[in-house]
């Protein structure tokens, strides 16, 4: 089963803190979004393995855009 990591708000991706294939734990930081000069970390909703990262640093995202996919173990 897979779980999506989605952007809670519109903004710019300023860092990606994981890579495809990495093991990740629930509440571990996946990316950081900057919006209105504030940085907002986005956390993994579950334990698993990063199956896909759909953004790169500098990308602009909208609210509810899929940032990454986590395959649950």
Which CATH number characterizes residue 61's domain? 2.40.50.100
Count the domains in the chain.
1
Burial of 23 (0-12, 13-18, 19+ CB in 10 A): exposed
Q: Give the global pTM.
A: 0.91
Helices and strands (H and E) in the chain: how many: 0, 8
Mean pLDDT of 57-73: 97
How big is the chain by its Cα radius of gyration, in Å? 11
Domain that holds residue 61: 2-71
Q: What is the pLDDT of residues 4-30, one digit of tens each?
A: 999 999 999 999 999 999 999 999 999
Q: What is the pLDDT of residues 34-46, one digit of tens each?
A: 999 999 999 999 9
């Amino acid at each position: 089963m897979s779980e999506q990591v989605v952007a809670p708000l519109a903004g710019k991706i300023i860092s990606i803190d994981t890579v495809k294939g990495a093991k990740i734990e629930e509440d571990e930081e996946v990316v950081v979004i900057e919006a209105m000069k504030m940085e907002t970390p986005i956390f993994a909703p579950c334990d698993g393995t990063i199956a896909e990262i759909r953004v790169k640093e500098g990308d602009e995202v909208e609210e509810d855009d899929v940032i990454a996919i986590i395959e649950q173990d």
